[in-house]
Structure 1
């Protein structure tokens, strides 16, 4: 099998070509900062052409039989299985993913595309009773038309595929704008996969523009009926405002300040294992990652001792080494940002109980303790291998600490009984809570999404189908209707 080429090109109207923008982007390996490739960036003209193409071909795609649409997505699934090794390597080189994380990401992509392959068979409708004698009310599920998808760098391939595959399965056209730091693994490689799977030329497009050049042009473009965005809360708010102003539908999956609550009767060893994975998977660069660990005061010291010991055993270094679970942050700027937050937290009274050394773009596991939720590393999303442990005395206090944040994405509770854990979970202001587990969970059939400033909308299963479609009411008056005038 020949490896994919031209991954540094734009994919517009079925053609692989350079962008017509003014800049060239150097795509770097996060581990060693070597230039992986150079990308000639897209211009607003390229974005226009991509959207026009998606709109034109979508009208044809909508009329394709459900079985043929489903077959294209099923072929995409098989292509990802066949090219797993190639895709894993790309994720390691471009996003700094460990071998474990990259394989998990491919599994997620396969699962969500499998689910999306069922969508063409679920684009039906229903007949609803009418108040009017002789009237038949028909409701038809219809594609929205064209979607713009904006994806982040951390799980680039999956967080693109999660919207792209489901939107295509629902009969839409798509234009994808990946983060330029992961333009290939989060963008153009999807173009290659669907091209190989036989998607109609021009239905799916990938553009990599310079935001400095195009500004809000991707979001404000008149063609897309919806924007699906995954990324920071700050940017998400701006996109939400733009969509509201332009009367577009929007799905936002934003930041998180996720808490793991450990009750006094919890199994400490299980809690430690969960905390290690939930905090340090992909270096904590996951919107669902644990940011705070809230532990009952009577087991606090015991937990800290075991947690530090476990963190010290995590292998750190080159992501190409299958033994290493922690690799580089996405860029050197992320390192500087996180170190600044740690220093601020220390000045606010937090104590560093495990100081992770810094090696280039790598930060080793770092653990702080604080008696309050008001230190920088607890208040702010770290998006790195840094966690703050906070003690509590009562369940009410633990719930209050957990909810004391603008975010509400994910969370977890360790308890002696499942029912006690569920009782606590129902009082947490967050979209997802996992009992006797950790906060990093995603499944293709589940409603994935957050509350408060962690986002709007739900991804996965029938919820994605609802997000990416609309309903049209068509009534048929079967017999003469009497009107009042």
Structure 2
């Protein structure tokens, strides 16, 4: 572990407002989800301090709006260079605060670098279009075009599961499009957000353009959502909180990336050996704490038994333990409460016809990767979002039946299908009611420039840098009468 990370553990962590570190009257201890040791003392903001952060962002909005695109791109490019230099330190911070195995933390940092690269590039591509006014009788003698202008102050509320890259998906496009931000990171993972804020400061971002406010969601989040100076709220988290934000946001624009119980269909003609590794990653990477984690599998009856056997065998080989061990695949969930909740959901299955094929127990506080077969739809492990290393595998007689089962959900983020049939692939792509369909891959597939978002209770709006820039800008029409 690097010296900087060691120092980070013992130090108080302050707010970042208007380019300065701000102390508060209250601090809360931050503990490692894996070891239980105290990591740091985190500043707890109240409503008044949060409003000061909003004021700083509001006052800086003109500076950012008038900053040339090349300058915004340069700042983002400098952040990329700094993060490349400090990639190991960044990964250690993620692992320490979230218990994400270091192999996955390093992968997250690599993706974060890519996300900011995309943001730097998109800063130079924000454009409008010309309108053919003379296509209408009343438009003769006029020319017109659109421009995209920054929306203003953006309130960003981010989750614990990808504490660096999901911050990048909000901060990157906000800076690229000339906005200012008030960021409230998840209470368990504030260190990576504060770390990134330092990099932006070092990269020359104007004071007030990025403000990081740590503290209780009910205090900080509510102050952000309710303040009239905030023009947009972008949130990633639970459906219940997202719906609450939508109800309180009034006319503010909102982008809500919410929950899922993502599903995979396996057709009868698939070579099972070729898909096991992808299914393991989809179901169990980051302890299943991924919005598009593979939670439900619908396997055709001709391959069902083979899939369950081989998937179970591979699952039992995964190493459980210390997240800093480079071989560890599964470590602690974000909190003991989460582990107990999921253990209760697994216990519920024992009163049904479902069978636990692998895992199902807490081992030294870590939930074993768990496979449940023959689970009825109304069981929590099937119809709700587990957000844990739990996957349900059920048998189906056809792709049509599988599609019906996938759609029988209040969520609709992403889904996948493995098939060698063009007809079945096309059918699934047309009939699955989700935001994204992955053909011959797990639903957990994501690269950072693609449009990402869902339908139903999975949220509204799209992320992916280009698409987030569109969400974070307003279209303005200019019409010239030259007759």
**TM-score normalized by structure 2?**
0.94
Question: CA separation in 2, counterparts of 1:224 and 1:171?
Answer: 15
Counterpart for residue 118 of structure 1: 121
Question: CA separation in 2, counterparts of 1:2 and 1:198?
Answer: 25
Counterpart for residue 441 of structure 1: 445
- SS for the counterpart of 1:437 is coil
User: Is 1:164 equivalent to 2:156 in the alignment?
Assistant: no
Counterpart for residue 246 of structure 2: 240
User: Is 1:139 equivalent to 2:146 in the alignment?
Assistant: yes
Counterpart for residue 270 of structure 1: 274
- The partner residue of 1:17 within 18, 22, 43 is 22
Question: CA separation in 1, counterparts of 2:36 and 2:298?
Answer: 36
8 Å CA contact 1:267, 1:414 repeated in 2: no
Which moves more between the two structures, 393-402 or 224-233?
Answer: 393-402
Question: CA separation in 1, counterparts of 2:399 and 2:126?
Answer: 45
Counterpart for residue 101 of structure 2: 98
- SS for the counterpart of 1:281 is helix
User: Is 1:81 equivalent to 2:84 in the alignment?
Assistant: yes
- SS for the counterpart of 2:302 is coil
User: Is 1:470 equivalent to 2:474 in the alignment?
Assistant: yes
Change (3 A) 1:34 1:2: closer
- 5+ residue gaps in structure 2? none
- The partner residue of 1:373 within 374, 377, 393 is 377
Question: CA separation in 2, counterparts of 1:340 and 1:110?
Answer: 38
RMSD, aligned α-carbons: 1.8
Change (3 A) 1:212 1:66: closer
Shift of 1:425: 2.9
Superposed, which structure 2 residues align to 1:40-439 within 5 Å?
40-130=43-133, 131-185=138-192, 187-214=193-220, 216-243=222-249, 246-370=250-374, 372-417=376-421, 420-439=424-443
Shift of 1:97: 1.2
Which moves more between the two structures, 383-392 or 122-131?
Answer: 122-131
Runs of 4+ in 1 over 4 A off after TM superposition: 4-7, 212-215
Question: CA separation in 2, counterparts of 1:341 and 1:135?
Answer: 64
Question: CA separation in 2, counterparts of 1:76 and 1:293?
Answer: 40
Which moves more between the two structures, 36-45 or 435-444?
Answer: 435-444
Shift of 1:153: 0.5
8 Å CA contact 1:418, 1:436 repeated in 2: no
Q: Kindly tell me the number of residue pairs found equivalent between the two proteins.
A: 474
Question: CA separation in 1, counterparts of 2:129 and 2:278?
Answer: 45
Question: CA separation in 1, counterparts of 2:347 and 2:235?
Answer: 32
- 5+ residue gaps in structure 1? 480-485
Shift of 1:251: 0.3
Question: CA separation in 1, counterparts of 2:76 and 2:324?
Answer: 30
